[in-house]
Structure 1
Amino acid sequence: MENKWLRAALPALLIHGSIGTVYAWSVFKQSVADYIGASVPDVEWAFSIAILFLGLSAAVLGHYVEKNIKRSALLATLFFVAGMLGTGFSIQQRSLIGIYIFYGIVMGIGLGIGYLTPVKNLMLWFKDNKGLGTGLAVAGFGLAKMVFSPVMMTLQKSIGLWQMFIFLSVVFAIMMLIGTLLIHKPIDWQEKPLQKPFQPLKVMGNMTFVGIWLMFYLNITAGLAIISQEKDILSNLTLQNGSAVFSLGAITTILSVDAFFNAAGRIGFATLSDRLKDRNSVYQLIFGISIVMSLLSYFLPSGNFLMPIILVGTFFLINAGYGGGFSALPPLLADRFGMNAISKIHGLALTAWAAAGLSGNQLASYIVHVLGMPYQTVFLAISILYIIAYLISRFMVKPTKMLIV
């Protein structure tokens, strides 16, 4: 049966729904640190390395994805599953270096290939609604945390920490292999050879591409700066009598709803971009909303009764914009640079994710722990980043198509 749901949407959800569990890192990082006898900051580097190699592998292997999506889906499965298995055995052996290698490098490569693989295929099948297509794919990436976080917590308690990785590697292998079997480009699509060799340096030197890269990087950095601190911000919020505003259960619920908004933003903003004259406008909307909410969270006095509502609303909307920035990216690049080399160009753009993965968490940590400033100062910092991103989107990302490949 040749239809877009079976050949594009379902495989994308299976593949992205597996690799998206990288965002469930916070569920087990403390347990990993305790089990191997390392500090959380030392263990934290495994996640940063994974995001770094996600971006690097996507940039380097974009050409491989262009050639054959079935082979790239299989390669992503092999790397991701091997990374999960290796991480489990490294934890068993209490090897921090092993965790860096398998969770960071090996799994990171699987993330990069797996992230790219379904995207062009979805835009081919959903050619009249490219935003909806890519939104479906990366929504799976966002929903994975919400679906698998409780599963991981249950498995840790029932079978053990390192055993959890071994068990899940089998589950993800099955999911991703089914996705590999199902994924297929439209029968009537013929890949057109590039008129001239792909020149990544020429693409990276194009000012429109530079503008897209910068605003994508700033959106991820600002988003991660808040997302990485949400639990601490909510935990430190107190009433005038000194009692906590939110219980631990309420905080857990808010963080779960965050994951929903992240996924909803991935579908919603990308689908909205299909209805706009210029898809770049959806980024200006994301940045505008984020500027208003982050400034409200900074300037509203901490004792104000509206503060808890504003804070939670800010978290939800920033998560939605964070997710939407990912899903709106491929169709925007396709509009500006065409479909022929979209996987290669998208891969280059994802290096912004690699860079932001190293800078987002550290920005918030530096403000709070090194400078000793209150958590609210993080909102001021990210509002500045969003303002810069808005100006880049408004004046640097040109509305015309660039024939550079």
Structure 2
Amino acid sequence: MERGRESGQQGTEPNVPKQGTSGNILLRMIENHYRKTTFAKTDDQITAESHLFPGVPFNRLFVIPAAMVIQFCCGFFYAWSVLNRPIDIWMYGSPGADKSVITFSIAIASFGISAAVMGPWVERKGPKSSILLGSTFYLAGHYFSALAFHLRQMWLLYLAYGVVGSFGSAVCYITAVSVLLKWFPDRRGMASGLAVSGCGAGAMVAAQLLLPLTSEVGLTVAFVILPSAMLVPMSVAGFVLRTPPPNFMMVVEKQVVIDPGKHSSDDDDTRTRTNEIKCSKNENLSAVDALTSRNFKLIYVMFFANSIFGLVLISRLANITRDVFRKSEYEGTIIVSINGMFDLVGRLIFSTLSDWVGRKNCFIVLLSVQLVILSLFTLITTTQTYWAFLAAVWILTGCYGTGFGILAAFLSDTFGPKNVGTCQGVIFTSWSLAGICGGLIFSALFDAYKDEYDWDPYPYNVNVWWILAVVVVGLVACIFIKPSPKDKAFMGGLKAIFMKMCHRSETVNTRESYEMNSEEK
């Protein structure tokens, strides 16, 4: 009976009322852009994509290394902070010009806007066209950056790397994640984590590679070598990526919550496995319905809060180690590289763990950990406890990376896999806002106090206070997100264990009390 009802719901896709848009051509175009996100394959395409090469049947495992290669190349984007000082010296002759960091801020803004606009296009056109477009712009952004260094024109660097290259990176990023989630509906957390972990690995390698490379050949030649080295791997990965055929299905787990107040036998479990694939109402949401839902707005705020400290930190980490703790530039690059490793670990391990724990539960933990560490951060920097600073930074970076690793799976669970590209694209505008707003506020406060507090952590500490308030808001928003069956199952299991422990403790206390009374008698 239940299955029949769900089958009947599949044919009725909820629509957003179109009153007020019928007479406005621009609004109708925007609505159509976000509503029509289906990639229709021809029979010839389905037949051709069933094999990787003639005689080699395609396996969904092939998309994992392909997606990771794409993300690895995009990960160079995160190591920009190690180039801030060399670029300022090359362009302005002064390491204190502080203009190079603006490139990263522009790139963040462009990334979010590009992902939001191109998300539906990626879903409509499929991965091959998307990777072709994205990689072309991403590599072209590097080549034009080389021209900017040659001409010593900062505005051209802002345009080339900040806009063109970031646009390409955004298209490649959402394409790789979207494809992988479609192939692994049974392990969305793992798939999302594997995809974006390549990005953390790229940042880690880039942090160690960029400074020696630019020192050896100069900025201009380095930004010719980098895209030339990425061209072949990205092309091969784009050839491998493809979406599943229309009849693709996987066995997934259905989770139910058992009332912990009821006595159950030892054979009962909080999770029961079934061979049926059930399609929830969320699987049939249109992109417009998903984007206007209450859950999406709460996830938007939550992701903004989870990203803001990581973004502000990533672009200035090398500067903080030098300014506050007086470490060398070389040690700063080592710290940035290790930081990338924690980003990688967060994206990979905890996103896989979310397949059992639940996405919302993971985000509550992430934001709570950030809340505690940020509360102690000013004490750590004021006392200049270097080891504690490194531990705090790396844990916070792990939280930042974990948020990225879980996000796509969270959106897929909540709004259906067909809306991942669109929803993730729009969500990335919150990431861009976090980077831009956080960067502007950080810079304004830092510039106001840096001359007054020379070699003092106060210009950095004063920024932690408002970031702490943002994280509190994000945690509240996360709490109000509707939990998934997986979130309920995990919490139900914890509650059941807690109740059993309390029951056992009560039994032991009763027994001890009885024995004491017996002895007294």
Query: Which residue of structure 1 aligns with residue 435 of structure 2?
Result: 357
Deviation at 1:142, TM superposition (A): 1.4
Amino acid at match of 2:75: G
Structure 2 residue 406 is the aligned partner of structure 1 residue 328: yes
State TM-score, norm by structure 2. Answer: 0.69
Query: Which residue of structure 2 aligns with residue 153 of structure 1?
Result: 211
Contact 1:296–1:310 (Cα < 8 Å) also in 2:
no
Structure 2 residue 114 is the aligned partner of structure 1 residue 57: yes
Distance in 1, matches of 2:317 and 2:155, equals 29
Structure 2 residue 426 is the aligned partner of structure 1 residue 348: yes
Deviation at 1:81, TM superposition (A): 0.8
Query: Which residue of structure 1 aligns with residue 78 of structure 2?
Result: 23
Which consecutive unaligned segments of at least 5 residues does structure 1 have? 239-243
Deviation at 1:57, TM superposition (A): 1.2
Query: Which residue of structure 2 aligns with residue 3 of structure 1?
Result: 59
Query: Which residue of structure 2 aligns with residue 275 of structure 1?
Result: 356
State TM-score, norm by structure 1. Answer: 0.87
SS of residue matched to 2:447: helix
Q: Select the residue among 359, 367, 380 that pairs with 2:465.
A: 380
Distance in 1, matches of 2:161 and 2:334, equals 28
Kindly tell me: are residues 136 and 195 of structure 1, through their superposed partners in 2, closer, same or farther at Cα, counting changes over 3 Å?
A: closer
Contact 2:123–2:421 (Cα < 8 Å) also in 1:
yes
Contact 1:336–1:399 (Cα < 8 Å) also in 2:
no
Distance in 1, matches of 2:322 and 2:86, equals 20
- Deviation string 1:354-380 (CA, Å, 9 cap, x unpaired) is 212212233333333325644333333
Kindly tell me: are residues 286 and 159 of structure 1, through their superposed partners in 2, closer, same or farther at Cα, counting changes over 3 Å?
A: same
1:205-216 alignment, distance < 5 Å: 205-216=292-303
1:171-186 alignment, distance < 5 Å: 171-186=229-244
- Deviation string 1:333-362 (CA, Å, 9 cap, x unpaired) is 111111122211111111112212212233
Deviation at 1:296, TM superposition (A): 2.1
SS of residue matched to 2:356: coil
Contact 1:225–1:382 (Cα < 8 Å) also in 2:
no
More deviation, 171-180/358-367: 358-367
Kindly tell me: are residues 279 and 143 of structure 1, through their superposed partners in 2, closer, same or farther at Cα, counting changes over 3 Å?
A: same
1:241-252 alignment, distance < 5 Å: 250-252=331-333
Deviation at 1:76, TM superposition (A): 0.7
Kindly tell me: are residues 182 and 156 of structure 1, through their superposed partners in 2, closer, same or farther at Cα, counting changes over 3 Å?
A: same
Query: Which residue of structure 1 aligns with residue 104 of structure 2?
Result: 47
Contact 2:69–2:234 (Cα < 8 Å) also in 1:
yes
Amino acid at match of 1:366: A
Contact 2:207–2:336 (Cα < 8 Å) also in 1:
no
Distance in 1, matches of 2:292 and 2:240, equals 37
SS of residue matched to 2:305: helix
Query: Which residue of structure 2 aligns with residue 97 of structure 1?
Result: 155
Contact 1:226–1:364 (Cα < 8 Å) also in 2:
no
Q: How many residues align?
A: 387
Structure 2 residue 196 is the aligned partner of structure 1 residue 138: yes
Query: Which residue of structure 1 aligns with residue 477 of structure 2?
Result: 392
Give me the CA root mean square deviation.
Answer: 2.6
Deviation at 1:273, TM superposition (A): 1.0
SS of residue matched to 1:159: helix
Distance in 1, matches of 2:380 and 2:103, equals 36
Q: Select the residue among 133, 138, 163 that pairs with 2:221.
A: 163
Distance in 2, matches of 1:262 and 1:378, equals 22
Kindly tell me: are residues 222 and 26 of structure 1, through their superposed partners in 2, closer, same or farther at Cα, counting changes over 3 Å?
A: closer
Query: Which residue of structure 2 aligns with residue 367 of structure 1?
Result: 445
Deviation at 1:178, TM superposition (A): 1.2
Which consecutive unaligned segments of at least 5 residues does structure 2 have? 1-55, 250-278, 451-457, 486-521
Amino acid at match of 2:86: S
Contact 2:134–2:169 (Cα < 8 Å) also in 1:
yes
Larger relative contact order (C-alpha < 8 A, sep ≥ 6)? 1
Query: Which residue of structure 2 aligns with residue 124 of structure 1?
Result: 182
Distance in 1, matches of 2:84 and 2:309, equals 22
